[in-house]
């Protein structure tokens, strides 16, 4: 097989090595082959775009995670889990990229989370935050102010210490919120490092929790180097749900804060004169989405 064989050919070659000994079900073979074909197509497209490409056999676990994180924006949890399983089998039994005693961490589908979550009003956010301990309460305020995902709270860094990855950005990014002058970066889906903006007063409170040395933490099987003593990841999400049930009698999950951010920012930008499509693109960039249409899910 040539180094740049067609995606379907690469996937077929991998599955022939797995079929029988590792994967016995004909249906599973077909499903995994389709999944690996999509991964190979992504690698091809990444190469054409001038980013790291390669073939399925070149794929490292780190790049597999990037694929799954990006893919999680557009497919549900069932599809995402199936693709993760196909990659795990390939890297464990064919390419040797993954030791047999290790697994690819489970990635949560952002599409599934977005479909299941709903927004909170500012008053509801304040009421829930008041029921949280200080570290989680501060994390809630940061997440709400910048529209962050749970794990992104663990990756906060001042922008002057870690610049954002070069990506197209509209001039209207962070517009209207004139008191938002403190710039940070977070590592989001697919490893994308993007810039966010926080109110100066909130940033000062965040800086007061700065750790003397980065702390290595694990969230859903992924390691992070945390710089601030605030909540984040699954523990913070659980804290939000518990506090929301206590304060409101129900919970839409911490992901609902991203809904709130998207809806409030769309309103601000459109009142400032931006068209719907221009505002949608701006908010998409602020939230770290690869495609503006995923942002529309948050506007329900």
pTM of the model: 0.87
First to last CA, the chain: 47
Contact (Cβ atoms closer than 8 angstroms) between residue 238 and residue 251: no
- In this structure, what token pair is assigned to residue 220? 């859903």
Grouped pLDDT means (10 residues each) for the chain, 300 residues: 78 94 93 97 89 89 93 95 97 95 92 93 98 98 98 97 92 90 92 94 98 96 94 98 98 97 97 97 94 90
Predicted pLDDT of residue 3:
54
Predicted pLDDT of residue 146:
98
Locate the domains of the chain by residue range.
Answer: 7-107, 114-297
Predicted pLDDT of residue 181:
86
Residues 67-103 as b/e (b if ≥16 CB within 10 A, e otherwise) read bbbbbbbebebebbebbbbbbbbbbbbbbebbeeeee
Predicted pLDDT of residue 2:
47
**CATH code that applies to domain 114-297:** 1.10.443.10
Measured CA to CA in angstroms, residue 138 lies from 132, 194, 288 at distances of: 9, 21, 21
Predicted pLDDT of residue 300:
82
- CA 136 to chain CA centroid, Å, is 20
* Torsion sign over Cα 162, 64, 281, 142: negative
* Alpha carbons 283 and 297: distance in angstroms, whole number: 12
Measured CA to CA in angstroms, residue 172 lies from 166, 177, 220, 259 at distances of: 17, 11, 34, 20
């Amino acid at each position: 097989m040539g180094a740049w064989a067609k995606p379907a050919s690469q996937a077929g070659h991998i599955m022939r090595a797995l079929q029988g000994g590792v994967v016995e079900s004909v249906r599973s073979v077909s499903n995994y082959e389709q999944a690996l074909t999509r991964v190979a197509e992504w690698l091809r497209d990444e190469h054409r775009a001038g980013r790291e490409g390669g073939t399925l056999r070149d794929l490292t676990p780190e790049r597999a995670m990037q694929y799954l994180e990006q893919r999680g924006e557009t497919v549900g949890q069932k599809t995402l889990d199936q693709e993760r399983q196909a990659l795990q089998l390939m890297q464990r039994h064919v390419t040797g990229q993954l030791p047999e005693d290790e697994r690819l961490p489970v990635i949560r589908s952002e599409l599934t989370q977005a479909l299941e979550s709903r927004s909170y009003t500012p008053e509801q956010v304040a009421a829930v935050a008041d029921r949280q301990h200080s570290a989680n309460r501060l994390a809630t305020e940061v997440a709400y102010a910048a529209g962050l995902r749970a794990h992104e709270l663990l990756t906060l860094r001042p922008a002057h210490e870690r610049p954002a990855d070069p990506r197209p950005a509209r001039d209207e990014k962070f517009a209207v919120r004139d008191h938002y002058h403190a710039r940070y970066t977070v590592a989001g889906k697919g490893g994308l490092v993007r810039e966010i903006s926080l109110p100066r007063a909130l940033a000062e409170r965040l800086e007061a929790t700065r750790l003397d040395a980065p702390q290595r933490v694990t969230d859903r099987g992924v390691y992070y180097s945390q710089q601030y003593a605030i909540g984040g990841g699954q523990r913070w999400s659980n804290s939000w749900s518990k506090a929301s049930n206590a304060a409101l009698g129900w919970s839409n999950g911490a992901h609902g804060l991203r809904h709130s951010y998207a809806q409030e920012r769309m309103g601000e930008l459109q009142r400032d004169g931006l068209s719907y499509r221009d505002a949608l693109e701006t908010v998409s960039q602020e939230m770290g989405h690869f495609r503006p249409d995923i942002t529309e899910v948050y506007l329900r």
